[in-house]
Each structure stands twice: as structure tokens, then as C-alpha cells.
Amino acid sequence: MEIALGPVGSSVTDWRQMTDVAHDQIARRAYELYVDRGREPGHDLDDWLTAQRDIQSAPLARRR
């Protein structure tokens, strides 16, 4: 069952797919930050938040 979210015709399934893609992109970027720092533990939240900011501020064309 799909539920329409708005006039654009988006559905819950579409939203979940976009969220999954964003989550994967953030996870990859956070891992890059971890590796770049020499795999030093203890900065996972900082890496995640930095990665999230990087991904969300990137132009849409670069995110894909």
C-alpha cells in the first residue's frame, strides 16, 4: 500500500528510497573521514554529523 504525500505524487516508497540513498551517502562519507584521520576511534558521531552536513550542502547534481 502506498500513501500519497503531496501533490507531486510522491509516495512513502519513494521517500524511503531517497532516505536510504541519503543514509548510504552519509555513511560512505563518514567512513572516508574516519579513514582520512588514520582510523582513529572515538569520533564516529563527529564524522557522521560532518558527513551529513557535507552531503546535504552538496549541489544535487554532485550527490548522485
- Model pTM score: 0.66
Question: Residue 48 falls within a domain, yes or no?
Answer: yes
Question: Which pLDDT does position 44 carry in this prediction?
Answer: 96
Question: Which pLDDT does position 53 carry in this prediction?
Answer: 94
Taking only the tens place, the pLDDT of each residue in 8-64 is 555 767 877 778 888 999 999 999 999 999 999 999 999 999 999 999 888 765 555
Question: Which pLDDT does position 61 carry in this prediction?
Answer: 53
Look at the chain and report how many structural domains it folds into: 1
Question: Which pLDDT does position 4 carry in this prediction?
Answer: 53
Question: Residue 61 falls within a domain, yes or no?
Answer: no
Question: Residue 62 falls within a domain, yes or no?
Answer: no
Question: Residue 23 falls within a domain, yes or no?
Answer: yes
d(CA 52, CA 9) in angstroms, rounded, equals 27
Closest CA to 32 of 21, 22, 43: 43
Question: Residue 16 falls within a domain, yes or no?
Answer: yes
Question: Residue 27 falls within a domain, yes or no?
Answer: yes
Question: Residue 25 falls within a domain, yes or no?
Answer: yes
Give residue 24's domain range.
12-56
